[in-house]
Structure 1
């Protein structure tokens, strides 16, 4: 089982409310691989496939006797555990990208130091339409418009340490990782030493992209195995699927007409295809009974709230105070407690709620608060 404080993986599953959970890092899937993943989810688990906020793959509802075979089935597809080094999902494909981050990311992963704290992670961000500003990491390397890279140490805010050139970027990251050792970046008393990069508009993975790609998503990051299988069967043979930050799935290597057809197919399957879909403004964890920590069922409430007109900004429906689906503040946060929800305005799940509501009272309360 997963040690306390560590993330689940293919080799080491995590116990949760609906059984064991396996997690695998993002990689490109052929249509045949996507179909095989869906079949593994159904055969070995409860058929629930998740794409996480960081763009990882999760399969839920596994049992002790099926977790090993499930992990082996994914490894046989070429999916493997790896250090948490992330490059953008359109890396090397996006015409708006400032620099290709893949070589640096691969060099860091290949020399990943031993003995780092669980969950230590690195982002290598080449920029472009799907930049990684919203993805938390211990170390952040960001391509600069004038050339070179900016190295930052994340915490409550990012402390920007230095500018580095491409030839020394990987070693600069590895040097900082070795300094971290068993500590996380947030625990390091370091001040910024250089000017931060310019602010960018939020990245939106859903919809059409200039790099011959489209983005879709399951509601709240979840797809049932039959839906993933049906979508995989609709893909042209040259297409690739790639999980992406923001709980999305990108389809790569397609033409404009193929993209339109696939968006229509995804819509018929109940997937999110439009960035204005209200489900994209609601973060909802699996909740009870899927999560052992949750004190309330989240997904039925989230689906009901998505049907309300004029949602008041970002909504976070959390089964407990940990707030896994959305660690930061939201316009409205609903925190599960004893089967109901505490309502927090302009805050997070650990903040003091203004009131406590039964699930059936939440929609009326939101209408009154607007």
Structure 2
């Protein structure tokens, strides 16, 4: 007598054993000739759901995990961390531990739910070691101590690093590290004299000793421009001048040779500094040539002092210099009035060398007064006024 139901059961067991995980078999029995009809239909992807939460406070840090398998089996776990960690580091550890547990249990598709208060109250309660739960889950919770951060062994992709070229630091570092000097005697003497001004740290970084401040990190020539860019127009951009920029680099703890010169050259290349620098609104003056065509035709007058008081309460010197012969006439004065300037011009220049063609003067009151101008105009002398190199001495 045929036993068709047994044959159908064997086929069903074979399909269950070798079917793909994404397929689910539904069997339906019918009374038509006692045959078993098998139906295989597609099912949604079988995924694990992992709810993780981290908590960090002054008492320590912990991780709570709720893992739900595709078969609706719930696994709870809580971990206490024996090392200091921030809230972000705790959540990162929770993610790693959750994925590791699912991988060990053979899971391939995982849905992670991280620190969502509305959808993740159970994992959050595990993280804070509380007992409240919205679901009727088992009360047995595994508690494990974690003393070191989790390390994942992955294939490391090394980035090609471009080695910086030779620089002035190489000889100093070589001497401080291995006491090796260049073969040339002059270069060896230079390195030997410069070496006491530097200090080599354990990480092979060279520092310059400072007299009154902290040690300064020596910068490679190829990295100085990046530092100047960051200080001049970085996140705390100031767009200061060259001297201020080099001084700021020093206060930040950096040093390299000729840093002030490089800072000045960099500021000159800054586009924003050239466009928006304050303009000089003073009108331009006419350029006057200072060439002297013959001896004693052009004199320059200036006042030097004050000095310590001498005999007759003399504190100043009125100096006249001929531009052609460089002859000097001088006279001590107790006051610097326009009357004294007129008397000096008549006594020391006109009566001895004749009436000059031009007098080169600064903008002092004693030279720019109406009386002195009228006196020179009556003698036919042309006055030329100029601004000296140091404006504080301009009269």
> TM-score, normalised to structure 1's length?
0.16
Greater relative CO, 1 or 2 (CA 8 Å, sep 6+):
1
The structure with the greater share of residues assigned to helix is 2
> TM-score, normalised to structure 2's length?
0.16
